[in-house]
Amino acid sequence: MGALPVFRWRLAPDGYATRRQLRARGLRPGGQPVVAQLERPRRRRGPLVAYLYRVDLAKPVRPMTPARRAALAKANAARRTCPQCRRDAGYVIPASTGTCALCTYLDASDSLRST
Ligand SMILES: [Zn+2]
């Protein structure tokens, strides 16, 4: 960095926007590199810097599609499924036990019996 064009605050050329400004328009940088920076001079401190992206290269924020929604629902169902009995426990399997309450209970009574 350092070779980037620098513009004064509020004097950014048309077609450039900060990440925040893109977001306000429903856009995201989309993997493009920073193309310029804005600097607002401050007294006795380094300037305030904001990075600029090209609006024409920005991509729309990923919308919630039915496929994406289904993938999320599936991920949530997986988090509720007990890895031991393969049943949907109806709640997220606690990381502390790693199994549903029933399996945790049965495991505990097994170990009581075997001792
Ligand atoms: Zn279970």
Per-residue H/E/C for the chain: CCCCCEEECCCCCCCEEEHHHHHHCCEECCCCCCCEEEEEEECCEEEEEEEEEEHHHCEECCCCCHHHHHHHHHHHHHHHECCCCCCECCCCCCCCCCCCHHHHHHHHHHHHHHC
The alpha carbon of 80 and the centre of ligand 1 are apart by a number of angstroms equal to 10
pTM assigned to the model = 0.50
The alpha carbon of 91 and the centre of ligand 1 are apart by a number of angstroms equal to 11
In order along its 115 residues, the chain shows pLDDT tens digits of 557 888 888 777 889 999 999 998 989 999 999 999 998 888 898 888 999 999 999 999 877 788 888 998 999 999 999 999 999 999 999 999 999 999 999 988 877 766 5
The alpha carbon of 79 and the centre of ligand 1 are apart by a number of angstroms equal to 12
